[in-house]
A = this chain, B = another copy of it.
Amino acid sequence: MNLLRITLLALCLLPVPGAVAAAEFAFAIHGGAGTLSRTDLDADKEAAVRAALDAALDAGESVLKADGSALDAVTAALVILEDSPWFNAGHGAVFNAEGVNELDASIMDGATRRAGAIAAVHRVRNPIRLARAVMEHSPHVMLIGDGAEQFARGQGIDLVDPSYFRTDARWKQLEAARAKERAGADLAPMPGTYFGTVGAVAVDRQGRLAAATSTGGMTNKRWGRVGDSPIIGAGTYADDRCAVSATGWGEFFIRAAVAHDLCARMRYAGQPIEQASREVLDAVAQLGGDGGLIAIDRDGNIALPFNTAGMYRGWIRRDGRRGVAIFADDHRD
C-alpha cells in the first residue's frame, strides 16, 4: 500500500508533457496578406515595415514575459500596428468610396470565450481598444457605426479628428481605384487592395489564448461594406485550444467561417494546427478567395499560412525563437 501511494505521488509530481509547454508563452502577429512583390517594396519601406512588426512583437513579448495575459499581449501589439502608417488599420487605413477611413476590429478571449467587435467607426484612434471595451464593459459583442462611437465616448476611449487616419499613400490608392472605376473596371475587390489588415494571437504562461484583428477594410469600399475582420468566427476566434486572426479577401473568409472552422477542425477532427490551417485556407481558395492567417494552439504551436505572394508576419515561438518575415521564401526562424 505504501509503495503504491509513493508511486502515485511520484506520478502526480512528474511534469505532464502539455504542462511544460503551458508554462511558456507564444505569440504571433500579422500585418496583412496580399499580392505584394519585392518590386512593390523599396528598401526603406521594407525596413520600416520590419521595424514596426518588431515593435509589435516587443509589445506583446513584454506583456507575456511579465506573466501578463494573452488578451493584454494581443491588445498591446495591435495598438502598435494601428498607430503605424504602414498597415491598413488605425492611422494608415484605406479610404472608402466617400473618401473616409472606416474602421473595423474584433477581439476574443479564449479562456472565457468573451468577445468584442466594432464596425464602421470613423473617429476611434485605436479600434481594438474599443472592441475590447465592448467585450469588457458592455453586455454586447458587436456595436457598429455612430452608436459604437457614442459608446466609446462613455468609455473614455481616445477619439480623434478623422484626418488623423489619413496617409498620402492611401489617398493615392483611392484615387487610383476611382480612376479604374471611371474607366469601367469591375467593382469587385482587386487583389492587393485589401492588403494590410493587422492581427495577433497569443497563448500566455497560464495557457490562456486570445486573438485580435483590426482593419480599414477595402479601398473604395461602399454601401457600408463589412469584411471578415469584425466578424467573430470569420476574422477572429479563440477558445481554450486555439486562437486565430485572419486576413485576406474578407467575403470568402466570412463564407468559409475561417477562424471558427480552423478551431473546429482541431476540436472535432483532431487535426494538428498546421493541417487545420492549411485545409481551411484551401477551402477559401476553393471558393475563389485568397489570403492568410495566424493561428496558435494551447501548447504554443504556431501556424502562419497564406496563399498569396506575401504576408507581413512575426512570431515568438515557445522556445524563444523569434522572427519577422514578408515573402513566402523569407527566413522562417
List residues of chain A with CB under 8 Å of any chain B CB: 108, 113-115, 119-120, 138-148, 150-151, 186-189, 222-227, 231-234, 237, 250-251, 254-257, 260-261, 264-265, 267-269, 287
The 7 listed contacts between A and B (C-beta, < 8 Å) are: A139-B189, A140-B251, A142-B226, A144-B145, A147-B224, A232-B255, A267-B268
Take A187-B139, A189-B139, A232-B255 as given contacts and tell me if A147 and B115 are in contact as well, using a CB distance cutoff of 8 Å.
Answer: no
Cα–Cα distance between A226 and B134 once the two chains are bound (Å): 12
Cα–Cα distance between A142 and B186 once the two chains are bound (Å): 18
Identify A143's interface contact among B113, B188, B225, B255, CB under 8 A: B225
The SS class assigned to the A binding surface is mixed
Distance in angstroms from A123 CB to nearest chain B CB is 14
Pair B143/A224 contact, Cβ less than 8 Å: yes
Q: For residue A257, which residues in chain B have a CB less than 8 angstroms away from its CB?
A: 232-233, 237, 257, 260
Cα–Cα distance between A43 and B187 once the two chains are bound (Å): 53
Top 10 A-B residue pairs of the complex, sorted by shortest distance between their CB atoms? A147-B224, A268-B268, A264-B264, A233-B233, A268-B269, A233-B257, A147-B223, A151-B223, A139-B188, A144-B224
Cα–Cα distance between A142 and B120 once the two chains are bound (Å): 12
Pair A260/B254 contact, Cβ less than 8 Å: no
Pair B143/A226 contact, Cβ less than 8 Å: yes
Pair B255/A142 contact, Cβ less than 8 Å: no
Closest to A118 in B: B224
Cα–Cα distance between A115 and B145 once the two chains are bound (Å): 22
Distance in angstroms from A228 CB to nearest chain B CB is 8
Pair B287/A260 contact, Cβ less than 8 Å: no
Cα–Cα distance between A187 and B145 once the two chains are bound (Å): 20
